[in-house]
Chain A
Amino acid sequence: MKISKSAVALVALGLVAPFVLYPVFVMKVLCFALFACAFNLLLGYVGLLSFGHAAFLGTGGYITGYMMMEAGLTPELGILCGTGAAAALGAVYGKLAVKREGIYFAMVTLALAQLAFFVYLQAPFTGGEDGMQGVPRGHLFGLIDLSDNMNMYYFVFAIFLFGFWVVNRTIHSPFGQILKAIRENEPRAISLGYNVNDYKWAAFVISSALAGLAGSTKTLVFQLASLTDAHWHMSGEVVLMTLLGGMGTIFGPIVGAGAVVTIQNYLSGGELGNYIHIIMGLIFVICVLAFRSGIVGEFQKFMKKNFS
């Protein structure tokens, strides 16, 4: 009940946002929110800390960019290709990574993501550190001109809602219940007869596909795909977004992504620009020390304590 009310509020907020805020900025927030939601599915609901999610964001972006520039596909097909490629990569990486747990899982994903990073650094089609530039936004279904910011915005918003719905649906399905069981007590899940590694793998693929979807969309919004998206810094940033917003909550990653992107955007123009990394680091430290369940997590606790 509470979720649906909040969801209505979210949709309403999303519909009016471009009239109040600068649309490209909101689109950026939505892309990162989707990315963080995908990441949260793994960290918050299966308890797997992937430190290589940038590989999927980057893959989605590069494949979409390449397909739209070289093969001249329409945006929806381009995004589909990018998402598919990220899912395929996630299937391979996931298969290898879920064999290990805890810190080793994180290290394996990081190592695999670095492999992808160096491929994108060297492969001729990505343009190296210059990135892939001038990706056309194109016409949605060959009809709607996406170079108009408002059209683009509602397209991105629809994609975001779809991704959010997929995450939500996954979490609240019987499949999601098993994921949570694995998070809480893996040996018990095994003793109940679940093939834990297959469940983890499936969750990993869903998560990487959604991360790829976020990357594909981001490429269309900014009309470029760059190494930034595939760099391990990005894998770290999504951890920050998820923790800041509230790991294991539905809305946490959205709030976290919004907060991080806003801070970055604000600092990049101001006098504090030089200290952006220090400030982000401090926020991370404060978050871990003082409010571990994140903004949304603390808010929920507060509501529970005082109003129920």
Chain B
Amino acid sequence: MKPMKKSLLTAAVATAFAVSGAQAAGISDDKVKIGVLADMGGVYSDICGKGCVTAVEMAVEDFGGTVLGKPIEIVSADDQNKADIGSAKVREWVESEGVDAVNGLVASSVTGAVTKVLTDNKKIALISTSASHAFTTKACSPYNAHWTYNVVALANGTVKPMLDAGKKKWFFITADYAFGHALEKVATGVINSNGGEVVGAVRAPLGTTDFSSYVLQAQSSGADVVALANAGADFVNSLKTAAEFGLTETADVAGLLVFTHNAKALDPNIAGGMKLTTGFYWDMDDETRAWSKRFKERHGTIPAMGQAGAYSMTMHYLNAIKEAGTDDADAVMAVMKKNKPNDFFARNAELRADGRMVHDMYQVRIKKADERSNEDDIFAIEQVIPGDVAFGPMMDQCNFTAKK
């Protein structure tokens, strides 16, 4: 079996139309099955959740429901943000239900556990909403495809343009756990290498409600920019406190990870004017508007970036199966990396050898109340950040294409 698989892979890469070889491998157990694993009811359910399932369903329908004459099935599960539940579910999917790829994937802890299981079983992980950059660096795998964004892109996208605009002195209010630390570390790296300076940082425990002492420290530091290296409720609370203390008047406040629904929920008088980075915004051009309108009709809200990403990577995955003539993970991944994804979501995009999907990121500004024409009119795009600037260079040990 082994040498045949290898020759097939080479054929798929080289000619991409190795029809005879492809027919020999074909589709395992006569169907392509995509699992969608996400937090369906908890704190992250708005940024992926059921919306990711909807997005994957839309992709499968748009693709025609079959690939190479075989049906495409979707299963979904709630990981409850628990790594053990997520990895157990995925183990069951790949070992006894014939799942070929897992989409969704939100909390980095769950994604880390799940990608290990998938790699052991040679199945593809399509990561839509995780923030950690570990999946294409220290925990990289030839079976990972990380779409949408990561902490590196957020740091580069938000921090660099502000440095270029002369904001050199930075202060961090950081959520005191691994995610916050990682975000602060990456952002600090960007600041130091671009002539900026970090004048101070405070760590606030996860779930802090009273940010006043942290905000006062930030205020007295004399920083040009106060960066909020936190997310969700922590972000909302710290920003509100910053506004109450007038910090937003004297310095720029930058949110390092802000999702559309966070921005939507905030009072525009508080959040208006803040700059942040996103991988997708629904109201960018006709293409994004057309897709987002369809999504909203089905799901009820405008798409979050991870949900748009889930559609985009499902399409890319299915197209790759069609071209490779098989759902064998190695062959499909080779085609996914060879062909450039190009749709309403992925602009100037490529899936790099390390599994990182590099595409244009957008620095946006949250609109003030008087600029908004409707409730979904949240962002104004300030600047397009080219993918290679946002995502940075690839690590050598994760260059899986070169190794072969």
Binding site for B on A (CB under 8 A): 22, 24-25, 28, 121-122, 127-131, 133-134, 149, 218, 222-224, 226-229, 264-265, 267-269, 273-277
Contacts and interface: CB of A to CB of B under 8 A. Distances in A.
Contacts of A267: 78
B108 A274 contact: no
B132 A130 contact: yes
28 contacts: A22-B96, A24-B88, A24-B91, A28-B88, A122-B176, A127-B178, A128-B178, A129-B177, A130-B132, A130-B134, A130-B178, A130-B179, A133-B112, A133-B113, A149-B95, A222-B83, A226-B109, A226-B113, A264-B85, A265-B88, A268-B77, A269-B76, A269-B78, A273-B78, A274-B78, A276-B41, A276-B78, A277-B41
B382 interface: no
A128 B204 CA distance: 15
Interface in B76-121: 76-80, 82-85, 87-89, 91-92, 95-96, 107-109, 112-113, 116-117
Contacts of A122: 176-177
A222 B75 CA distance: 22
Nearest to B40: A273
Contact of A25 (B79, B88, B176): B88
Contacts of B87: 222-224
Nearest to A222: B84
Nearest to B115: A133
Contacts of B85: 264, 268
Given A268-B80, A273-B77, A273-B78, A222 B88 contact: yes
B83 A224 contact: yes
A228 B176 contact: no
B178 A218 contact: no
Interface string B9-41: 000000000000000000000000000000011
B177 A121 contact: yes
Given A131-B83, A222-B84, A228-B83, A268 B78 contact: yes
Interface string B294-315: 0000000000000000000000
A274 B41 CA distance: 5
A264 B84 CA distance: 12
A133 B84 contact: no
A269 B112 CA distance: 20
Interface residues of B, number: 34
Chain A CB count within 10 A is highest, among B76, B78, B84, for B84
Given A22-B92, A269-B77, A274-B41, A129 B109 contact: yes
Nearest to A134: B116
A277 B91 CA distance: 24
Contacts, number: 98
Interface string B277-294: 000000000000000000
Given A269-B78, A269-B89, A276-B78, 4 more contacts: A130-B132, A134-B116, A223-B113, A226-B84
Interface of B: 40-41, 75-80, 82-85, 87-89, 91-92, 95-96, 107-109, 112-113, 116-117, 132, 134, 139, 176-179, 181
A268 B91 CA distance: 14
Contacts of B41: 273-277
A268 B110 CA distance: 14
Contacts of A224: 83-84, 87, 112-113, 116
Contacts of B77: 268-269, 273
Contacts of B88: 24-25, 28, 222, 265
Contacts of A228: 82-84
B244 to A, nearest CB: 29
Given A24-B88, A268-B85, A276 B132 contact: no
A130 B109 contact: yes
Nearest to A228: B82
B112 A130 contact: yes
B40 A274 contact: yes
A273 B139 CA distance: 30
B138 to A, nearest CB: 11
Contact of B108 (A130, A222, A223): A130
Contact of A131 (B92, B96, B109): B109
A127 B82 CA distance: 14
A273 B50 CA distance: 11
Contacts of A274: 40-41, 78
Nearest to A219: B84
Contacts of A264: 85
Contacts of B92: 22, 24-25
B122 to A, nearest CB: 14
A169 to B, nearest CB: 30
B79 to A, nearest CB: 7
Contact of A133 (B40, B116, B176): B116
A121 B112 CA distance: 17
A224 B78 CA distance: 19
Closest 7 CB pairs of A and B: A128-B178, A273-B78, A274-B41, A226-B83, A133-B112, A130-B109, A269-B77
A131 B91 contact: no
Contacts of B76: 269
Contacts of A129: 107-109, 177-179
B113 to A, nearest CB: 5
A24 B88 CA distance: 7
Nearest to B134: A130
A151 to B, nearest CB: 15
A277 B109 CA distance: 21
A22 B95 CA distance: 9
Contacts of A223: 87, 113, 116-117
B42 to A, nearest CB: 9
Contacts of A127: 178
A25 B87 CA distance: 11
